[in-house]
């Protein structure tokens, strides 16, 4: 009886060791979904407190109001339009359209991220609109260096702000509705499998929504 039990334990241990060396689709999906790079949110940016301009001229009020994200931000009650003076060099100045936060926008900004811009360029608010959702691993392939290349499908899943954005901005439907392809390279280390994402492509896969 004891020899059989010993053989069973050896076989079980060998099986576990073998499974640890094998990267299946379910394990690969879990490793990739847990990466910080995969967890980064989709977003758009609101600029407040700065003249809205090109290099040598102001944007017109019509151009500013026609921009889909400006329309959305105003519609949410986050910003209002105002005028700010812009300097164009050689003493040239002109009043340009601008946006300012409303009390409702100040409250909402508690959940936003303040972007890095020079102090004379107002505030760039980064507004989260969703997260990546991994739909499944499509292919695992062994590389000559012993690593495993993983190809997977994913999409952007909207949060509450993203859901409202889809209703207000037509192009947001394509942004959230598109199934995308991602790639990662996984290697077995002493402490288990580790995966690294490859560069996201195209640009909107990085997360910034620009209609």
- What's the rounded Cα separation, in Å, for the pair 17 and 206? 37
Q: What is the pLDDT of residue 107?
A: 97
Query: Which residues of the chain fall below pLDDT 70?
Result: 1-20, 91
Bridge partners of 150, per DSSP, are 140, 184
For the stretch 65-91, pLDDT in tens is 999 999 999 999 999 999 999 988 776
The domain limits of the chain are: 23-42+131-206, 44-127
- How many whole angstroms from its chain centre is CA 88? 35
- Dmax (CA) of the chain: 97
Q: Which residues contact 62 (CB under 8 A, 6 or more apart)?
A: none
Q: What is the pLDDT of residue 95?
A: 95
> Which stretches within the chain are classed as H helix?
2-21, 25-33, 36-39, 61-66, 68-75, 103-108, 160-168, 171-177
> Which stretches within 93-159 are classed as H helix?
103-108
Q: Which residues contact 109 (CB under 8 A, 6 or more apart)?
A: 78, 101, 125
- What's the rounded Cα separation, in Å, for the pair 195 and 34? 10
Bridge partners of 56, per DSSP, are none
pTM, entire model: 0.84
């Amino acid at each position: 009886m004891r020899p059989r039990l010993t053989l069973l334990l050896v076989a079980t241990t060998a099986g576990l060791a073998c499974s640890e060396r094998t990267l299946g689709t379910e394990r690969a999906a879990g490793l990739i979904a847990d990466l910080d790079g995969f967890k980064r949110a989709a977003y758009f940016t609101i600029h407040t407190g700065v003249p809205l301009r090109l290099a040598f001229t102001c944007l017109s009020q019509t151009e500013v109001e026609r921009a889909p994200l400006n329309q959305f931000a105003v519609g949410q009650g986050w910003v209002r339009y105002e005028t700010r003076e812009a300097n164009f060099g050689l003493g040239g100045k002109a009043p340009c359209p601008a946006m300012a936060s409303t009390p409702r926008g100040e409250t909402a900004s508690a959940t936003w991220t303040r972007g890095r811009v020079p102090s004379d360029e107002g505030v760039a608010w980064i507004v989260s609109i969703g997260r990546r959702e991994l739909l499944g691993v499509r292919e695992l392939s062994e590389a000559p260096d012993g690593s495993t290349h993983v190809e997977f499908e994913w999409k952007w899943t909207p949060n509450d702000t993203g859901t409202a954005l889809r209703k207000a901005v037509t192009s947001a439907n394509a942004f959230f509705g598109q199934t995308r392809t991602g790639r990662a390279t996984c290697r077995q280390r002493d402490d288990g499998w580790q995966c690294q994402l490859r560069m996201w492509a195209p640009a909107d896969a990085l997360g910034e929504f620009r209609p």
